[in-house]
Amino acid sequence: MNRLIPRIMLCLALLAPAAATMAAGAVSVLTVNGPIGPASADYLVRGLARAVDEGAQLVVINIDTPGGLDTSMRDIIKAILASPVPVASYVSPSGARAASAGTYILYASHIAAMAPGTNLGAATPVQIGGMPGAPPEQPEDPDDPQRQRGQPNDPESGDALTRKQVNDAAAYIRGLAQMRGRNADWAERAVREAVSLSADEALRLKVVDYRARDLNDLLRQLDGKTLNAAGQDLTLRTAGAALIHHEPDWRTRLLAVITNPSVALILMMLGIYGLFFEFTNPGLGIGGVLGGICLILALYSLQLLPVSYAGVGLILLGLAFMVAEAFLPSFGVLGIGGVVAFVVGAVILIDTEVPGFGIPLPLIVSVAVVSAVLIAALVGMALKARQRVLVSGDAGLIGSRVAVDAVQSDDPRSGWVRLQGERWRVSSEAPLQAGQTVRVLARDGVLLQVTAAEDGQREEVE
């Protein structure tokens, strides 16, 4: 027994490095397919943290994106730069692109690779809010030395805000290019001139590091390469490494849905109308519960998106006008004004022109029309309700026909009836008989003045 224990410990000592190598030899694969937004930023940041916990030797991000929001892009880049696990951004499959924000992420990654038939570039920041008044760009002379250095011909062209955004973006991507040893001049041109490159041209100009047919081809080329991640030199052993695919989970998919500006607008409408119906018809609870949930989700979504507060204000003002139309005799003025305010507010709601983060005009018009029809239906129901005869209170008592329950023995002109669930004392000018049908003429406190029904039909109203 004493000889067996040292042998077991020796075997464990020999197997421990091998087990550690197997655990650290996995490659984590993340996929971004669509605009870069809060959902994709949350997915990638959590994916990089998970790769560290799993002891992965490399994270591969499959990218196919038209661009996205600046704040989400910078969150992703910060996570990549701070990651102790090397990150390889791979534009794939063939036909994919890494435009705008995707180009920045590619430059920030430790390894940049592209599949045949892909492209990247067009990294000019989109003008926030689509502010009008920016003059058109002037044609540039290809022999101009300023253009060759990546500077615009006219430093005063465009408004000050656009120039600030372009200069900031150019400095940002140039810094990333210098950090990773890639073509910084072309990166600046991609920002200032919105140029793009194919995979072959990007490899030739040293914009990317590798051109790979598929993921296995990329991992084969990376085998034995030494990278510096978070200040540590790591040697990759990716040939035949195990792949761990982390697809977007339910949280990421839910976040992607509710941060869609169109969905956020619809949720806000459902929330407001749900609460409106609950306040006008209290007691049921369904409108209040669903409306509250939808409104909270909409507000959460809007706080993650670059919204215009003027747009939110116009939408709320338009809804208030349309609701007021149902209660005030404005002859359509408030309703029409509410529809106009709602449409204008929805158009300017999202304060960016980034692809994938706009609200389609047909959706805005459709929601406005549905709201107008709903308000018109409410007005119609209110008018019909005003024309109905009241069936409760004094108005419900007057004219009611009811059978006499009993007659007072000492006064045959007085008796008792049961009406609207209550027992009433009645008085008549003519003698009454039990079972006789009478009609209520007036009410005097708890006494009802009645008279014999003309048709003599026995009828009881509860």
- Judge whether 164 lies within some domain: no
What pLDDT was estimated at residue 389? 56
- Judgement on whether residues 10 and 47 belong to the same structural domain of the protein: yes
Is residue 13's pLDDT more than 60? Answer: no
Mean pLDDT of the chain: 80
pLDDT in tens, 245-304: 999 888 888 888 888 888 988 998 888 888 877 877 776 778 788 888 998 998 888 888
Same domain, 212 and 285: no
Report if residue 32 sits inside a domain.
yes
Q: What's residue 61's pLDDT?
A: 96
**Do 377 and 302 share a domain, yes or no?**
yes
Task: Sort 114 into a burial class: Cβ within 10 Å, 0-12 / 13-18 / 19+.
Answer: buried
Q: Is 0.85 topped by the overall pTM?
A: no
Quote the domain boundaries for residue 411: 393-452
Residue 133, domain member (yes or no): no
Assign residue 208 the CATH number of its domain: 3.90.226.10
Are 35 and 74 members of one domain?
yes
234 inside domain: yes
Read off the pLDDT of residues 330-352 as tens digits, 9 standing for 90 and up. 666 787 888 888 888 888 888 66
Q: With bands split at pLDDT 50, 70 and 90, how would you rate the model's confidence at 149?
A: very low
**How far is Cα 76 from Cα 100, in angstroms, rounded to an integer?**
14
Does the pLDDT value for residue 205 go beyond 70? yes
Residue 448 lies in a domain: yes
Q: Based on the domain organization, do 208 and 347 belong to the same domain?
A: no
| Residue that is last in its domain, among 363, 387, 411 | 387
Asked if residues 315 and 338 have their Cβ atoms less than 8 Å apart, the reply is no
The verdict on 368 and 398 lying in the same domain is no
Q: Which long-range contacts does 422-431 make (Cβ < 8 Å, 24+ apart)?
A: 424/448, 426/450, 428/452, 431/407
Residues 23 and 109 in one domain: yes
User: Is residue 302 situated within a structural domain?
Assistant: yes
Place 393 in a pLDDT band, splitting at 50, 70 and 90.
Answer: low
Alpha-carbon span 211 to 360, nearest angstrom: 37
Instruction: Say yes or no: 298 and 333 in one domain.
Output: yes
Q: How many domains does the chain have?
A: 3
Same domain, 115 and 220: yes
In-domain check, residue 162 = no
* 297-326 average pLDDT score: 84
Sign of CA dihedral 434, 435, 441, 447: positive
Q: If you average pLDDT over each of 22-26, 276-280, 368-372, which comes out highest? A: 368-372
Most confident of 41-45, 145-149, 152-156: 41-45
